[in-house]
Amino acid sequence: MVVPMKKYAFLVHHSDYENFLNGVREVGVLHVQPKKLEPTLEASRKKLMHKEVSDIIGQLKKRKVEAAVGQPSDGVVGAAIVRSVLDLNEELERTRRELAALNKEIEQMKPWGDFSPELVARLEKEGGIDIHFFVCPEKKFNPAWRERYVLEVIKTVPPDCYFVVFSQKGEMVEIAAETHLPDPEFSLPELEEKRAALEAAIEETNRQLDRHAVQHLPPLERTLLEIEEEQEMADVLVNTGLEADEKVMLLEGFVPETKVVALQDFCEKTATVYLAEKPSPKDNPPILLKNSRYARLFEPIGKLFALPSYAELDLTPFFAPFFMLFFGFCLGDAGYGIVLLVGASIYKLRAKPEVRPIVSLVQWLGLATIILGTLTGTFFGVNLLEDQFAWLGSVRNFMINSEQAFNFALMLGMIQILFGLGIQAANQAKQFGAKYALKPIGWIILLLSLVDIGVLKMASPVSIWTAWAGVAILMLFNDPDAGLFGRLGKGLWELYGITGFFGDLLSYIRLFALGISSAILGFVINDVSLRMLHGVPYAGPVLFVLLLVVGHSANLLIACLGSFVHPLRLTFVEFYKNAGFAGGGKAYKPFEKKVQTIK
């Protein structure tokens, strides 16, 4: 559910405003109402600083640091650490570029072996001898070149041949080969010595960054929160209105009704003048969700799309059971469900507190997969409906075949569509009044009647009359604000929209398709593994186990991805559309003290 908000307006004399803001931040419950203003130069600068420090923290956290490198230290200024890390990063990047260029030069020098560049220069300068370095494919090396020139093959590294030609100063050398070596400044040992020095410099820079990662993350995180506080203070000042010749400061914001007592106590202690009222949807209050322990696990999924607007219902508790069932249907293998449930349960014992809700969600999804996998009779790619599993007895009576699974997917889709229309009716009644709920109610009546007539084949007089009643409601109450002829025109267009419902319903076939595809892949993996077991001597059992583990692991990963994405699509497209979800809410972010939260 969306937590109700109270709207507050504070009137504070400019001389007391700074103390007032510091007090409000200590209370930490006020969400300042933003205004559509261009960001100031200072705000832009703080944003860049925040990104810079955040990137550095992320970089240091990724480093694999041994405990022996150092001990944590809090007595260092965060700005100095940032400057030091930036300098080290710049130095590391420069050294790596030099090393890459040097490695390229060494690779060019290696075929020529160890020789003195100084001697080459002296021969060319004082001896009047030019030395030419060539390389060509070994097959294209012409022996006649030896007769025409003083030529020495240095090395043959298939498929290339490296050789030098000595000529008198100014003599033309006409050889169909590529000049390979530029004028060298250092010998190969000298280049390798330089490479060792650069590699040592890189290791030393990395050690210094490792020390920062061990010793200076707490002050960096503190600096990041200080920047966030400064950003928030700057935003609050920008969103402050100036009244009475800029003598009185006006600040507006929102507070959850469950937290108003602390703010009002502060205002009474400081004799702050304020006005409190119930906000309207036009005020665009922030969104704070409060759900049951189970539904709260699915809030991150809903936030992938959008938060609800303040006036509408939070759909999280309504789509959560469907999402769980859809995931289990798509994965559709009880064995895979056991792997998810057991694996998540074991990992949860050592998971960090912030990760545990996600692990709990995986546990629920694993449980749903076990239930739906058992219902469809699939266990690690094995079809439990085959005759060889007759020993399961009455348990198999609860299992469904492929045709029944197809119908079950459509039934789930119809239930969710009708449920979504019911939520739309409740939403419309809550926001605008009962008469605005009649259109979705008309659709519910019409669709149920058509199901009775077309699917159940009953076609009783009651179903026919209710179908016409649904049509009448859609024709007359599709837009309560329009005139009679406007309603009739819109009603005809509304009735044409029944094709959209059929399209939405067919979308739920993907539940069946994904479930059957993962089951088929599991069957193929089992079949190939058994062939290896019986067809490959000696190594057969090893290959059998290896293929089972690797194959089912890959199938599980791929199937989990599809089992998450497609229920997501059904939720955000089919269900949200039929529920009339508008969205667009902004998250509740209180103006609060942050630095003290660092431990």
Going residue by residue through the chain (599 aa), what tens digit of pLDDT does each one get? 889 999 999 888 888 888 888 898 888 889 988 876 666 777 778 788 888 888 888 888 888 766 544 455 555 567 788 888 889 999 999 999 999 988 988 888 888 888 777 788 787 777 788 888 899 998 999 989 988 889 989 888 888 898 988 888 878 888 888 887 766 677 788 888 999 999 999 999 988 888 888 888 888 888 888 888 887 887 788 778 877 777 888 888 999 998 999 898 999 888 888 888 898 878 888 899 998 999 999 999 988 888 988 888 889 999 999 999 999 999 988 999 999 999 999 999 888 888 899 999 999 999 999 999 989 888 888 888 777 777 777 777 788 888 888 888 888 888 988 898 888 888 888 777 788 788 888 878 887 887 777 666 555 677 777 877 877 877 777 777 777 777 777 777 777 777 778 888 888 888 888 888 888 888 898 888 888 888 888 888 888 889 999 999 999 999 999 899 999 999 998 888 888 888 888 989 998 887 664 44
Domain membership flag for residue 400: yes
What pLDDT score does 99 carry?
Answer: 92
Q: From its phi and psi, is residue 151 left (phi > 0), alpha (psi between -120 and 50) or beta?
A: beta
Does 59 share its domain with 196? yes
Judge contact between 429 and 312, C-beta under 8 A: no
Q: How many residues does the structure list for the chain?
A: 599
Does 62 share its domain with 205? yes
What pLDDT score does 472 carry?
Answer: 81
CB-count burial class (<10 Å; 0-12, 13-18, 19+) for 217:
middle
Could you tell me the two tokens for 279? 């906000």
Domain membership flag for residue 515: yes
Strands 382-383 and 378-379: antiparallel
Could you tell me the two tokens for 540? 């057969």
Does 497 share its domain with 466? yes
Residue 324: which of 277, 282, 357, 371 has the closest Cα?
371
Domain membership flag for residue 286: no
Does 542 share its domain with 412? yes
Does 348 share its domain with 332? yes
What pLDDT score does 599 carry?
Answer: 42
Domain membership flag for residue 356: yes
Does 217 share its domain with 345? no
What pLDDT score does 598 carry?
Answer: 45
Domain boundary among the residues 186, 203, 222 is at: 186
Does 164 share its domain with 48? no
Domain membership flag for residue 248: no
Does 424 share its domain with 530? yes
Does 422 share its domain with 516? yes
What pLDDT score does 456 carry?
Answer: 60
Q: What are phi and psi of 532, to 5 degrees?
A: -65, -40
Q: How many domains does the chain divide into?
A: 3
Does 343 share its domain with 484? yes
What pLDDT score does 504 carry?
Answer: 82
> What counts of helices (H) and strands (E) characterise the chain?
21, 11
Residue range of the domain that includes 122: 115-186
pTM of the entire predicted model: 0.72
- Could you give the dihedral angle defined by the CA atoms of residues 225, 352, 209 and 79, in that order, rounded to the nearest 10 degrees? 10
Domain membership flag for residue 19: no
Does 326 share its domain with 211? no
Does 503 share its domain with 370? yes
Domain membership flag for residue 20: no
3-class state of residue 186 by DSSP:
coil
Residue 214: which of 86, 78, 65, 75 has the closest Cα?
65
Domain membership flag for residue 219: yes
